Amino acid sequence: MAPGSVDRDHSQTRATAAALSKPSPTDRLYRIVEEGLCIGCGLCEAVAGPDRVVMAKTSSGYLHPTVVGPLDHETVDVVYDVCPGTRIDGLPQHLVAEDTNVDNVWGPWRRIVRAWAGDPDVRHEGSTGGVLTALGQYLLTSGRVQAVLHVKASVDEPTFGQPVLSLTEADVLEGAGSRYGPTATLTDIYEVLDRELTLAFIGKPCDIAALRNLARHDERVDDLVRYWLTPVCGGFGTPSVTERFVRSLGMETEELTGFRYRGRGCPGPTVATTADRREERHYLDYWGDDESSWALPWRCRICPDGIGDSADLAVSDTWPGGSPTRQGSADDPGVNAVVARTVAGQDLLESAAADGALTIDYDITPDDMSIYQPHQMHKKYAVDARFRALGDAGRIVPETNRLRLAELAGELPVSINRYQRDGTARRLAQGKGTEPRPPGPIGSM
């Protein structure tokens, strides 16, 4: 045997072992899903292309990426940088004007008001006071944008949502009413950008975060997306709970022709329809009477930004304590709270009010927001400790910037932070932060 041949054999063996132990691109992508961090926004499909990754309904009922073609590490690196399960940032610093207030919980704000849609029909149709719908319409009719990218009920899966590009007031109104089911809002974002239309984007805070992330990779995002609007979001319902709710009505999700979570009042009824039946229940029959009964995805339970920290405007319910009551008025027309974070957001709010698209009731403060949305305040304080528990367990810890999480944790007693950290660790050990690996054809490089 020639000198050095044994060393070369050992070197090859070590190289082979290292290659085998290194996670494949597919393994890396699926790790986001398996650790419960995928929110189903669909941006990974857009980045990788539908010939390699497609959003599909999995055995858990969620929309998750399924690998259908060969992936490479460079593509997955981009996915990790844009995915709102792995990176969530606050408002870009250049959008925070010098005279902007910053609250540790509620983030940057220039003005906070109670308001509702100026058109009574829009106010009635919307989830609370119709503000997001009214603003989407106003942005089109005023010529500030050419299209609004938002969501509406899915045609194929009525309990889900689907993205829609609206060009008219009627199109926007069709999307009124909250969607509490899985929604792949950004699967077609490159096709939307290719149309070169000026846009308003209305999406959940995690969708806003995803699109802000993409802006670092595609300059067209900041050039075309002129307004970023979001609901303050407590999360969406787990598909299994929605399915059980539908079955309690004597229906199956497969036979639904429509499903409306709320709206047509505040909050309005939850309504399921099939070809020959219509069933209506109280909103709380779906969600339960208090926060302890909410069935949410893991990613929603550890969400660092349910308040829309990186949007121009964030719009919320105004129920003291965070939930309506069964004794509330059935014909409550609804009132939103609106947080204007940027100069553009404040200008939109005030211009829409001046032109009659919105009615502003009166100004409020971050303290009022915490009364209306106490669960958001409590979660924001808890996130730092919950993320530390993820790190303790060797899991992906989402990267965050400008969300003030450490500052909020520093305001709490050590015992409370430990309680949150231990509680999250216990839930992880129970498997509550784990999702099954998506099935389907797999190819990777």
pLDDT digits (tens, 9 = 90+) for 291-320: 777 889 999 999 999 999 999 999 999 999
How confident is residue 21, by pLDDT bands cut at 50, 70 and 90?
Answer: low
Percentage above 90 pLDDT, the chain = 88
Burial of residue 127 (CB within 10 Å: 0-12, 13-18, 19+) is buried
Burial of residue 100 (CB within 10 Å: 0-12, 13-18, 19+) is middle
Q: Is the pLDDT of residue 364 over 50?
A: yes
Q: Is the pLDDT of residue 52 over 70?
A: yes
Mind giving me the DSSP string for 292-304?
GG----HHHHT-S
pLDDT at 12: 52
Identity of the amino acid at 236: F
pLDDT at 358: 98
Q: pLDDT digit string (tens) for 414-444? A: 999 999 999 999 999 999 999 999 986 443 3
Contact 376, 337 (CB under 8 A): no
Quote the tokens at residue 149.
């990218």
Query: What are the C-alpha distances in Å from 304 to residues 174, 280, 378, 382, 398?
Result: 30, 34, 11, 9, 9
Task: Taking residues 203-213, report their average pLDDT.
Answer: 98
Helices (H), 35-119: 43-48, 73-82
Contact 111, 340 (CB under 8 A): yes
Cα(384)–Cα(392) distance, rounded to whole angstroms?
Answer: 12
Q: pLDDT digit string (tens) for 368-386? A: 999 999 999 999 999 999 9
pLDDT at 1: 43
Quote the tokens at residue 73.
């590490």
Quote the tokens at residue 130.
């119709």
Contact 146, 198 (CB under 8 A): yes
Contact 244, 281 (CB under 8 A): no
Q: pLDDT digit string (tens) for 163-173? A: 999 999 999 99
pLDDT at 331: 76
| Mean pLDDT taken over the chain | 93
Q: pLDDT digit string (tens) for 134-153? A: 999 999 999 999 999 999 99
Q: Is the dihedral of CA 124, 127, 132, 137 positive or negative?
A: negative
